[in-house]
Every structure is written in C-alpha cells, then in structure tokens.
Amino acid sequence: MRPANVCLVATLVAISASSASAQVTAQSLGTYRSPSGVTLRLLLDDSNVGKEASVGELTFPPNIDSGEHAHGAIEMFYVLAGELEHVVNGKSEFLRPGAAGYVRPPDKVRHKTGAAGAKVIVFWVPGDEAKRIIARWTREP
C-alpha cells in the first residue's frame, strides 16, 4: 500500500494518544460477532476518545467473503496478521501484515480472506460508524 496511507493510520493513532485527557488502556469496550463470524473488539469510541473516531481489532475467519457493502464513514485497516483481500469499487489489493488500506463513502468495499484469515486494526472516521456496525452484530459474553 502507498506510504501515505500508512502515515494516515499512524497519524490517527498519534492523535488519539496525544490528547491531554487521554488514558492508555488495554481494556476492550466489548467484543461483537457478525453473522458470518467476524469479530470486533472495540477499543476506542465516543465513551473514551470522543465521537470523531472509533478504533477496534477485527478478526476475519478463514475463507470469508463479506459481500459488497458501503460505509457511512472512512474505514481504514492496518493488517496485523494473515492476508486480507481488500476490494474497493471492483479493484482488488492484497493486504499483508504491515499494510494499510482504506475506503471512503460512498465507495463499495468487499473483504475476503484465504486459509489464514486476517487480524486488523480498524479505524472509522467519524466514529459513529462503529455503533451502526455493532447494532447488527451480537455482543459476546
């Protein structure tokens, strides 16, 4: 992925961490599961960082295809493990550990994995997109 995309993700992390009132925490705000088995461990949202952004850890199971969809916010991924096929408006890119990708509204996106699945950090700007997503998913105990 282009270096500018990685810089954008790094900048968002730095902004989130630099607030004078920011607290560093490893605690999750909850884990949610989609009907297809994707899990989201929500880390930052309006309850701690404000409504400007949400951050989570997404785990995609092996051999999954999200189907084409759109988001109401910018969605950015940073791949931690595995491989994620990130298809934006029909253009496919394979994201491996250390790579970043993004999609802007009203673009169409599709997420696919192979045998290894994938684990990514996801950023939504503005952050209310996380609420829309978890409203359709099941909260894990």
Tell me the CA distances in angstroms from 19 to 9, 93, 123, 135, one per residue in order: 17, 34, 17, 28
Residue 123 sits in which domain range? 3-17+28-139
pLDDT digits (tens, 9 = 90+) for 60-111: 999 999 999 999 999 999 999 999 999 999 999 999 999 999 999 999 999 9
Tell whether 23 is covered by a domain.
no
Q: Residue 71 belongs to a domain with what CATH number?
A: 2.60.120.10
Tell whether 75 is covered by a domain.
yes
Tell whether 108 is covered by a domain.
yes
CB 59 within 8 A of CB 136: no
pLDDT digits (tens, 9 = 90+) for 116-140: 999 999 999 999 999 999 999 999 9
Q: Return the CA Rg of the chain.
A: 14
Look at the pTM and tell me if it is higher than 0.85.
Answer: no
Tell whether 73 is covered by a domain.
yes
Tell whether 22 is covered by a domain.
no
What pLDDT is recorded for position 27? 72
CB 113 within 8 A of CB 58: no
Three-state secondary structure call for residue 129: helix
Three-state secondary structure call for residue 15: helix
pLDDT digits (tens, 9 = 90+) for 2-40: 444 444 444 444 444 434 344 555 478 999 999 999 999
- Burial classification of residue 110, based on how many CB atoms lie within 10 Å of its CB (0-12 exposed, 13-18 middle, 19 or more buried): middle
Helix ranges restricted to H, 19-140: 128-134
Tokens 């560093």 -> residue:
24
Three-state secondary structure call for residue 1: coil
Number of structural domains, the chain?
A: 1
